[in-house]
Structures are given as structure tokens and as C-alpha cells.
């Protein structure tokens, strides 16, 4: 891309915002020119906004704070100056997103990690390489709402890996039923002053509020059809149980599917290996959309999650599912990379090359 896009990050001091800054620090297409945050952070240097009263700097990424961002000033999110901004990336909670994202979308494209608008009937829930054609709904959204920009959220990080792996199987065999159990990393819950660590040590938490409902309806939207400017959910049933486990990063999921047409293990492996989206030169795209393991002891989060910059979805233990009449397998996706900031960057990159940004 010959001209770099000027971007703003809203919620820059939070965990998701920090993930954006790490991913954007050396991005060849996007240049961060503005930060926005809560009234508590507004008017402060970025590094000062991270500093707690006890002196601790609340930067929670394994990489150091990029030098170029330390002295940038944080604006108040509701008064964010959008002059000269090409894209706004939001890393805020759903309640704040409901208020702020439409303000920004009146003028510029908004790529969001929040759930606030995911199920709106004119908002595409995009995974490039899976449902890229849903991008056309952006024009209908702009017309309906009278916006120059638009809102495009990314899916829930648990939805991401499953929707990716179901796409080639849906195409090859058709799907009747999907049953999934997740073993989700603690990083997906953010930070909670040490309480979360005490909850998770030597433990497994069998319930994540609202997660199962999100996965079910988001999967059907992503893998559904777009007809006459409306989304038609995929007809297959989705049921899941979402749990939290003492793993730092990387969501592991066991998936059981009933297929419409007979499916062999060999045919499923071929479907995964032949599914190669053409990402061209998108900077955040994985070299391998899927990494298929023949070692039954993989995928493992600690060993496999960071391959391909955390953007590859790993699949292993593909087996025949006799009880349902279909297949079963284990998947792993990186919840704070592919399922968060880097996934959002990939969406933005794709919308740039397809002319929506």
C-alpha cells in the first residue's frame, strides 16, 4: 500500500488496547497518530496513564512499550478528534462501545473488538478467508444509518477458531450439528488484581458468563448466507460448554460434528489442507491459515500458539465421530492475537485492499 493510513486506538491503556499497540508498532500500512481513553486517562502521557499510585506501570504485554507511544497524549474518548483519521480501532467494553462507536462511524470506519454491534442486522461479523463476501453489507449499513464510516466488529475469540475450522467442513460435507467444549486461556478474562490467579490455580472454572450464547449465534451468522442485504443464519445447530483453564494464552476446543454427507478422516484432512484463502500481501495474514497436526499430542497451547505470529488455527486428533455420524477434532487458536488485535488488523487490511477503507 503506497499511502499509510492514519489510525486512532480507543481504549489504548487496557489489555486489548495494549495488544493493538504491540501489533501496530511496526505495521507497514497503519500509523497510530491518536490515542483515546477514559476521563481518568485523558490529558496524560501514555506511560503516565499506565502508572498506578504505587508506581507500577500497568503494561501487561511480553514485549516492552513501543518507544514511539510512551509520550503520546491520550484524548478523551467522547471528544476524540477524527480529523485526518482513516480508521478507528476500538478496544473497549460493550457498554462504552454502544455509545462511542456510532459517534466515530458517522465519519470514519470503526474496527471493533467489542460485542456491542456483532448481532445487528446490518453489521457484518468478519473473518477474512471465511466470510469475506459479507463485507458487502457495509454499503447497506452506511445507507441505512447515513454514515460516512461504518462499524465492523470481529467475533468473540472463542468463536473465531471454531468458525474457521467449520468453514471447509461445511463446504465439503454440510453440517447438521456442532457440539463444542472450550478450554479457554486466562488472558481472555483480562486482569483482576490477583483474584483471578487465585481462582485459577489448581483449578478449572466451568462457566464463563454469556460466552456460550455468543459462540452459538455468532457461528451461525458468520457461516450463514447474505441474501438481499440480510443475513440468513446457518441452519445447523450449535451447542457448547465454555470453561476457563490455567493456561496463559491460546483457546483449545474439542469439536464434534454431525455431517449431512458421509465424511472420512482422510477427506477432512484434505479439506483443511486445501483450504487456502488468498490473502495477497496482507501484513497480518498467516502463511498457513490452518496447521494440521498428525501427532496426536498436538496442538498444545504453550508449544503451538505462537506459530505464524499467532495467526494460524491449529487442528489435531481428527477422528470419525460414530455417535453423531460425522467427525471430531481438537483445535487451538491464539485468543489475544488471531482472536483479538491482530485479527482486527487483518480485517482492516482486507477492507483496505477491497476498497471499503
Tell whether 124 and 20 lie within a shared domain: yes
Tell whether 220 and 135 lie within a shared domain: no
Tell whether 65 and 148 lie within a shared domain: yes
Tell whether 71 and 203 lie within a shared domain: no
Portion of the chain with pLDDT greater than 70, in percent: 97
Tell whether 149 and 284 lie within a shared domain: no
Q: Catalytic residues, which ones? A: 157, 251
Tell whether 190 and 179 lie within a shared domain: yes
CATH of the domain at 109: 3.40.50.720
Q: How many structural domains compose the chain?
A: 2
Tell whether 142 and 184 lie within a shared domain: no
For the purposes of burial, counting CB atoms within 10 Å of the CB of 151, is it exposed (0-12), middle (13-18) or buried (19 or more)? Answer: buried
pLDDT in tens, 295-339: 999 999 999 999 999 999 999 999 999 999 999 999 999 999 999
Tell whether 86 and 163 lie within a shared domain: no
How high is the pLDDT of residue 194? 47
Tell whether 166 and 311 lie within a shared domain: yes
Q: What are phi and psi of 137, to 5 degrees?
A: -65, -20
CATH of the domain at 265: 3.30.360.10
How high is the pLDDT of residue 1? 66
What does the alpha-carbon distance between residue 274 and residue 268 come to, in Å, rounded to a whole number?
A: 10
How high is the pLDDT of residue 2? 64
Q: CA torsion 153→154→158→160, rounded to 10°?
A: 140
pTM: 0.96
Residues in the chain predicted with pLDDT less than 70, given as ranges, are 1-2, 191-197
Short-list 117, 93, 87, CA closest to 346? 87
For the purposes of burial, counting CB atoms within 10 Å of the CB of 318, is it exposed (0-12), middle (13-18) or buried (19 or more)? Answer: buried
Tell whether 102 and 216 lie within a shared domain: no
Tell whether 141 and 166 lie within a shared domain: no
What's the domain range around 43? 5-154+341-353
Tell whether 291 and 303 lie within a shared domain: yes
Amino acid at each position: 500500500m503506497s499511502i499509510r493510513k492514519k489510525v486512532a486506538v480507543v481504549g489504548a491503556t487496557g489489555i486489548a488496547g495494549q495488544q493493538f499497540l504491540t501489533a501496530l508498532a511496526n505495521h507497514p500500512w497503519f500509523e497510530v497518530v491518536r490515542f483515546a481513553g477514559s476521563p481518568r486517562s485523558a490529558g496524560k502521557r501514555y506511560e503516565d496513564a499506565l502508572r498506578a499510585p504505587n508506581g507500577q506501570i500497568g503494561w501487561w504485554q511480553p514485549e516492552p512499550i513501543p518507544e514511539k507511544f510512551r509520550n503520546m497524549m491520550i484524548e478523551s474518548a467522547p471528544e476524540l478528534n477524527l480529523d485526518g483519521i482513516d480508521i478507528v480501532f476500538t478496544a473497549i467494553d460493550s457498554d462504552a462501545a454502544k455509545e462511542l462507536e456510532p459517534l466515530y462511524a458517522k465519519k470514519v470506519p470503526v474496527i471493533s473488538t467489542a460485542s456491542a454491534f456483532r448481532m445487528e442486522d446490518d453489521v457484518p461479523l468478519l473473518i477474512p478467508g471465511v466470510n469475506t463476501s459479507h463485507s458487502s453489507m457495509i454499503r447497506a449499513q452506511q445507507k441505512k444509518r447515513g454514515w460516512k464510516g461504518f462499524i465492523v466488529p470481529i467475533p468473540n475469540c472463542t468463536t473465531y477458531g471454531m468458525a474457521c475450522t467449520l468453514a471447509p467442513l461445511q463446504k465439503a460435507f454440510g453440517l447438521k450439528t456442532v457440539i463444542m467444549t472450550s478450554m479457554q486461556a486466562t488472558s481472555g478474562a483480562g486482569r483482576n488484581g490477583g483474584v483471578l490467579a487465585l481462582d485459577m490455580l489448581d483449578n478449572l472454572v466451568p462457566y464463563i458468563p454469556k460466552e456460550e450464547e455468543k459462540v452459538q449465534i455468532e457461528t451461525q451468522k458468520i457461516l450463514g448466507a447474505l441474501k438481499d442485504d440480510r443475513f440468513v443464519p446457518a441452519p445447523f445447530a450449535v451447542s457448547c460448554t465454555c470453561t476457563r483453564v490455567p493456561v496463559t494464552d491460546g483457546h483449545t476446543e474439542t469439536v464434534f460434528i454431525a455431517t449431512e454427507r458421509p465424511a472420512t478422516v482422510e477427506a477432512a484432512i484434505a479439506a483443511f489442507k486445501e483450504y487456502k484463502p488468498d490473502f495477497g500481501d496482507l501484513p497480518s495474514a498467516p502463511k498457513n491459515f490452518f496447521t494440521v497436526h498428525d501427532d496426536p499430542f498436538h496442538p498444545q497451547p504453550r508449544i503451538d500458539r505462537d506459530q505464524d505470529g499467532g495467526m494460524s488455527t491449529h487442528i489435531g486428533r481428527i477422528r470419525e465421530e460414530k455417535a453423531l455420524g460425522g467427525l471430531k477434532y481438537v483445535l487451538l487458536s491464539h485468543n489475544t492475537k488471531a482472536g483479538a488485535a491482530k485479527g482486527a488488523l487483518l480485517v482492516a487490511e482486507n477492507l483496505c485492499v477491497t476498497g471499503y477503507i
